[in-house]
Amino acid sequence: MTADLFARLTERQSSQEVMAEGAVLLRGFVGKAEAELIAALRDIVGAAPFRHMVTPGGHQMSVAMTNCGNAGWVTDRTGYRYHAVDPESGKPWPTMPLLLRDLAERAAGRAGFGGFAPDVCLINRYLPGAKMSLHQDKDELDFAAPIVSVSLGLPAIFLFGGLKRSDKPRRFRLEHGDIAVWGGPSRLFFHGVAPLADGEHPIMGSQRLNLTFRKIR
Ligand code: MD6
Ligand code: FE
Give me the CATH number covering residue 39. 2.60.120.590
**Smallest-distance ligand from the CA of 159:** 1
pLDDT of residue 2: 54
DSSP 8-state code for residue 106:
H
Task: Assess whether the C-beta atom of 121 lies below 6 angstroms from ligand 1.
Answer: no
Distance from Cα 5 to the centre of ligand 1, integer Å:
32
- Cα–Cα dist 210/158, whole Å: 11
Distance from Cα 2 to the centre of ligand 2, integer Å:
40
Q: Are 213 and 181 in contact (CB under 8 A)?
A: no
Look at residue 136 and tell me whether its pLDDT is greater than 80.
Answer: yes
pLDDT class of 1 with cuts at 50, 70, 90? very low
Task: Assess whether the C-beta atom of 159 lies below 6 angstroms from ligand 1.
Answer: no
- What pTM did the predictor assign? 0.93
Distance from Cα 211 to the centre of ligand 2, integer Å:
10
Q: Are 145 and 115 in contact (CB under 8 A)?
A: no
The domain of 156 spans: 2-214
Mean pLDDT of 102-115: 97
Mean pLDDT of 89-117: 98
pLDDT of residue 142: 86
Residue of the CA atom closest to atom 14 of ligand 1:
149
Task: Assess whether the C-beta atom of 207 lies below 6 angstroms from ligand 1.
Answer: no
| Number of other residues whose CB lies within 10 A of the CB of residue 208 | 26
Q: Give me the number of domains the chain comprises.
A: 1
Q: Could you tell me how far CA 173 lies from the centroid of its own chain?
A: 14
